[in-house]
Amino acid sequence: MDRIRIRGGNTLNGTIPISGAKNAALPLMIASLLTDDQLTLENVPHLADVEQLIRILGNHGVDYTVAGKRVGQNSGMGRTIHFSARNIVDTHAPYELVSKMRASFWVIGPLLARMGRAKVSLPGGCAIGTRPVDLFIDGLRALGANIEIEGGYAIADAKAGLVGTRFVFPKVSVGATHVLMMAATLAKGETVLENAAREPEVVDLAKCLKAMGAQIEGAGTSTITITGVSQLAGARHAVLPDRIETGTFAMAVAMAGGDVTLTNTSAELLQNAIGALRQAGAEVTEMPGGLRVVRNGGGIQPVDVTTDPYPGFPTDLQAQFMGLMTRAGGTSRITETIFENRFMHVQELARLGARISLSGQTATVEGVPVLKGAPVMATDLRASVSLVIAGLVAEGETEVNRVYHLDRGFERLEEKLTACGADIVRISA
């Protein structure tokens, strides 16, 4: 099993190209099930989760081809993949595939909308909380689907087609917003989704669906209105930049010090997180096609943050920010309101010398002057990269084990950091 070794102490200087967003690419790929025409996605990141979803879509009969890079194309840009779901051969998504990644459950919406039936395993694939699928089920039932839970599967049918409705999410859910928005594109009549997720990835999916012929208004606000159409066509769409990767590398620079330009991204995607970085002492400057992050001289300042749905501080940056705060000159408090079990990285950061105490949903971090390298273990995707951030400044060697978590969501992480001066290497077993 691969592991990553980091020798801390180097500042970061240079340029890091940001990849396409995993959290946007996955629902966009699933949207290919809605049409029998070709959907072409550009800037698709090369990640383990993307490859797993390709296998799941292939099980349904989706063909795909990967286009080569054009001459002169920026090496930081992702792949172009053509998806064709002309012939859906199976509406069954089995446990052995879905259990490896929870986003694969989202196929239930497009399959119901286009084929009128679906049998999808209840999801697995992540250890950061229960994250039940009740909102998905309730929303699809509101659209007219009959759904039974039996033997670990959601067995659904909508023989007469889905029908537009008004559905109020009892809590904000990005995944459920994706699924119901996709399903409603082919429903009869108008669907209004209230208390919908406002994340940029929801907006990106809506842009793609509209390019396919869907009628959607309000994406990016808490009320999304979809007027169903009889069919969708093919389209070409570029996956938006990964705001979580952007924030992660910005926090790495804030931790290690240096001067790094992040390209192929936008400061607008981060909003609240940029404010927290500036409070911590980093200089973050917006520039065309990206942003520049600088921290020279002064120490890291303690900052309190609370995770919230967009545009609040992202839960997917909570672990990374905690890693940064371990070296702050004072005490910070980090409150997690989205997932109930997203502090598993605390014990591993403690192995490096961090001082963190937990009380309910809040972690109190007492900054220390020195972290010391040690073997640590990645527990989930975002937690794993917090250990990398801490390792960049830890004395001696830090060895991060179980880095397959990293490969699910970060493309060429070691390569990008090495290019800016970090002493980091992947060691294959």
Which residues are marked as active site?
126
* 316 is known to lie in a ligand binding site: yes
Helix, strand, coil abundance in the chain, percent, nearest 5:
35, 30, 40
CB atoms within 10 A of CB 55: 12
Q: What's the token pair of residue 379?
A: 């527990």
Beta-bridged to residue 117, according to DSSP, are 157
Say how many CA atoms lie within 13 Å of 36 toward its Cβ: 8
Helices 272-280 and 318-325 cross at an angle (nearest 10°) of 10
Nearest-angstrom CA–CA distance, 52 and 293: 33
Contact of 156 with 145, CB cutoff 8 Å: yes
Whether 422 and 12 have beta carbons less than 8 Å apart is answered as yes
Cα-to-chain-centroid distance, residue 185 = 23
Q: Is 174 annotated as a binding residue?
A: yes
207 vs 414: CA distance, rounded Å: 32
Query: 338: annotated binding-site residue?
Result: yes
Per-residue HEC secondary structure of 181-217 comes to HHHHCCCECEEEEECCCCCHHHHHHHHHHHHCCCEEE
Consult the annotation and say whether 43 binds a ligand: no
Task: Say whether 131 counts as a known binding-site residue.
Answer: yes
Residue with tokens 């989205």: 338
- Cα distance between residue 332 and residue 336, in whole Å: 13
> Alpha carbon of 75 to those of 78, 412, 416: distances in Å?
8, 11, 11
Rounded to whole angstroms, the Cα distance separating 357 from 355 reads 7
Report whether 134 belongs to an annotated binding site: yes
Q: State how far the Cα of 145 lies from the Cα of 422, in Å rounded to an integer.
A: 52
Residue 172 marked in a binding site:
yes
**CB-CB contact of 29 with 41 (8 Å):** yes
State yes or no: 403 annotated in a binding site: no
Q: How far apart are CA 258 and CA 295, in angstroms?
A: 6
171 is in an annotated binding site: yes
**Kind plus residue range of the DSSP H or E element containing 355:** strand 355-359
Q: Enumerate the β-bridge partners of residue 154.
A: 120, 149
Determine the Cα–Cα distance for residues 242 and 65; give it in Å rounded to an integer.
23
Helix (H) or strand (E) holding 371: none
Would you list which residues are annotated within the binding site?
A: 22-23, 102, 131-135, 171-174, 316, 338
Would you list which residues are annotated within the binding site for UDP-N-acetyl-alpha-D-glucosamine?
A: 102, 131-135, 171-174, 316, 338
Would you list which residues are annotated within the binding site for phosphoenolpyruvate?
A: 22-23
